[in-house]
Structure 1
Amino acid sequence: MTYHPKSDFIAVMMERGFLADCTDYQGLDDALLQGARPGYIGFDATAKSLHVGSLIQIMMLRWLQKTGHKPITLMGGGTTKVGDPSFRADERPLLTPAQIDNNIAGIKKVFSAYVDYNDSPTGALMINNAEWLDDLNYLDFLRDIGRHFSVNRMLAFESVKSRLDREQSLSFLEFNYMILQAYDFLELNRRYGCILQMGGSDQWGNIVNGIDLTRRVLDHEIFGLTSPLLTTSDGKKMGKSLSGAVWLNPDMLSPYEFWQFWRNTTDADVGRFLKLYTELPVDECDRLGALAGAEINESKIRLANEVTALLHGAEAASAAEATAREVFEKGGIGDDLPTLTLSADDLPVSVIQLIVKSGLAKSGKEAKRLIAENGAKIDDAPLTESGLMIDAAALSSPIKLSAGKKRHALVQLDG
């Protein structure tokens, strides 16, 4: 695409790789030149933390604020009760209002590391769509809003079509989700003057619905912008690691493990991830990403430090790097390593179970394969015996377990 943006925000989105598509480049560009304009992204509260897969959206909100505009973090307190069916094979499990409120409280902690909530023209807002969805009158909503939606058109959206093509059930509850998300955009425009909705490219249909609805009901011009759905260079979905989701809340994933996730980035992804997940100048990102051999490892450490410092603070990033260098270079035991604490009642325990419980393998089968392929170590010595039992005597001091060269965990006895 050869569009040359005039606004700082779109320029950043384009040069750093955030932009997949936009409903009207020229219109949005012109609107962003008219002062601080509000834009939003919605986040459903399906867990008490977001994971790395959401970080591209959070960084978009951060850049929106840094370029002079007003980010809105919309929490789906209402829509989480329905569940987004987009590109899912099955219906989401339904959560209680108390579970949803608890999840929102956990998620709030992450956002304040990236955007500044204050009363200024560019101060971020956190809004819960339960504000307007919880008290909707069904008949009024059908008459005033439902009449603007064509079922034929809704069935043609790829997110719905792909589910129906696989002959998987799509409940009426889930089918309503796209109407509710469209209504969110309408209400945010009416209440807060919000002109922009952003999201992953899988949200394109939902975003376009909201734009059409707002034009029909309020006759207001609003815009949509999507980011690419990120996969790593080896085709894996961004945000997944061997031990599961890479959570953003420190009580669900330690800053050290978060740092390690970025340190383990594939060589081919370093430059791209530096542009998306750090604020280093683009030229510097390109330079670091183009390094090879041992030098690319220093680029990965820079990536890990920058991303961890944004979320957890500079001290946590420095501590993680120090622990990693101690573990990798000196073979020592760092203070920040993920730690599994056992009680005497847990013993004896097989080394297979320890590998699984410490998160170094997902299953006993995977742990056995790790040992068979000489990928496991215990206190830096090759672990060759999969039937090894660990008793209290063996745990008189902490044990270090390793999977390959980069992933480690401590096992210690309580008290």
Structure 2
Amino acid sequence: MNKFLKEFKDRGYFYQCTNEDELSELLNKEKIKGYIGFDCTAESLHVGSLLQIMCLRLLQKHGHKPIVLLGGGTTRIGDPSGKDKTRKILSEQEINKNIKSIEKILKKFLDNDNPKIKPIFVNNYSWLKDLNYISFLRDIGKHFTINKMLTFESVKTRLDREQSLSYMEFNYMILQAYDFLELNKKQNCSLQIGGSDQWGNIVNGTELIKRYSSKHAYGLTTPLITLASGAKMGKTETGAIWLDEKLLSSYDYWQFWRNVDDRDVIKFLKIFTDLSIEEINQIKDDNINQLKIKLANEATSMLHGKKAAQNSEQAAKEAFSGTSLGSNLPSVKIKKKDFKDKLMIIDLIILSKLEKSKSEIRRLIQGNAIKLNDKIISDEKLIIDNQFFKNDYLKLSVGKKRHIKIELD
């Protein structure tokens, strides 16, 4: 088996492949170009997209050149895969802003210096915006049958639930197949990688290329990654785990990995770090907390750098030791004029953004889950005044895992 495909499987990335033996033979003979598409519906990706990013890194590791398709065109339509309703259509300005932000994030993960494997960034709006509808139907539409399109999971699920599926969304799979054809023609791209929910769209692309030009192209899909709890990767009780530090601090990102379920640690070391399978097998029986710290450091270093990972680990130690306010803890500044020397504990927690709901904060206080400077707070009507601050700082803890430094500005 080809080395890229072997590692793809060993790390738990593999779900399905079109004509695997033929793809393996191609990968053994030459370096190829493979692409992954990202729709730009938000200003940042979250960890739910991280597996796809790791696939791009793996392509580079084995000497292949990744193409990153940023869906400036298809974002205007909306992919029905995995959705139970039509998503909000964004303005052109919003989409362009999201594209720039997402490209910046992706460049942090990828090798941008080696010309042989440097990623190619493309925006499918560049070829979709000027399509002639009549020509498109005649040249591309003739290769698709409604019968087959209705069998794809993304369409079938919506129709089975009697949920509306717009004609606009129904066209998404044709446009994604056309993207693959365009990249095959312009960039000699022969592989598309995507999540398991993209299988139908990817197969459409490989078949379109074969019918249109008699060339061979291949599809490779990854499994849906869920947490041991059954929750979808990327979402937590406190919100999405964003890859943009403006939306989620490096400390909170580190904490996400540090606090994963024991059952997920080895799996995540294989999927979300660059540690070799051999090294992971050697350390898999180590202390589980040390393995979690290893996971957190490796994952955070990849996105935010080693220094941020080290600072986050130190901040966590300081937060749990209770010996200091923790110089490396994430901080929130409150202006002294807004503070006015007196503030209710509930309002302080809302200002910190650790919790949004007053009723939830009351519940946490009743459960002894709120601490100020490592001391339990049991009075929900507590007035916070200057005595709680040491050199204009105080440490606020919500539960065992969320800590923040409140700073008077």
TM-score range relative to shorter protein: over 0.9
**In the alignment, does 2:338 pair up with 1:345?**
yes
Q: How far 1:38 moved relative to its partner?
A: 0.3
1:114 to 109, 113, 134: 109
Equivalent pairs, count: 406
Other-structure match for 2:263? 268
What letter matches 1:379 in structure 2? N
- The 1:346/1:95 distance shift into structure 2, 3 A limit, reads farther
3-state SS of paired residue (2:300):
helix
Q: How far 1:112 moved relative to its partner?
A: 1.5
Q: How many angstroms apart in 1 are the aligned matches of 2:343 and 2:180? A: 54
Other-structure match for 2:280? 285
Q: How many angstroms apart in 2 are the aligned matches of 1:176 and 1:219? A: 23
- The 1:403/1:152 distance shift into structure 2, 3 A limit, reads same
- The 1:176/1:271 distance shift into structure 2, 3 A limit, reads same
Deviations 1:364-405 (A, max 9, x none): 232222222222212111121223343566557222111222
1:125 to 111, 120, 126: 120
Would you say the 8 A contact 1:243–1:359 is kept in 2?
Answer: no
Other-structure match for 1:311? 303
What letter matches 2:407 in structure 1? Q
Q: How many angstroms apart in 2 are the aligned matches of 1:216 and 1:365? A: 60
Other-structure match for 1:202? 197
TM-score, structure 1 as length reference: 0.93
**In the alignment, does 2:365 pair up with 1:371?**
yes
Deviations 1:164-191 (A, max 9, x none): 2222111111111111111111111111
1:219 to 211, 214, 236: 214
RMSD: 1.8
3-state SS of paired residue (2:109):
coil
1:336 to 319, 325, 328: 328
What letter matches 1:381 in structure 2? K
**In the alignment, does 2:5 pair up with 1:13?**
no
Q: How many angstroms apart in 1 are the aligned matches of 2:17 and 2:58? A: 17
Other-structure match for 1:298? 290
Other-structure match for 1:327? 319
**In the alignment, does 2:379 pair up with 1:385?**
yes
- The 1:353/1:104 distance shift into structure 2, 3 A limit, reads same
3-state SS of paired residue (2:94):
helix
Would you say the 8 A contact 2:325–2:394 is kept in 1?
Answer: no
Q: How many angstroms apart in 2 are the aligned matches of 1:275 and 1:265? A: 14
3-state SS of paired residue (1:402):
strand
- The 1:181/1:349 distance shift into structure 2, 3 A limit, reads farther
Question: Which runs of no fewer than 5 residues in structure 1 stay unpaired?
Answer: none
Other-structure match for 2:86? 91
Would you say the 8 A contact 1:203–1:226 is kept in 2?
Answer: yes
Q: How many angstroms apart in 1 are the aligned matches of 2:77 and 2:99? A: 16
What letter matches 2:338 in structure 1? D
What letter matches 2:373 in structure 1? D
Other-structure match for 2:148? 153
What letter matches 1:47 in structure 2? A
What letter matches 1:254 in structure 2? S
Q: How many angstroms apart in 2 are the aligned matches of 1:127 and 1:394? A: 53
- Deviation >4 Å, runs of 4+: 346-349, 391-396
Q: How many angstroms apart in 2 are the aligned matches of 1:358 and 1:281? A: 39
Q: Alignment identity in percent?
A: 50
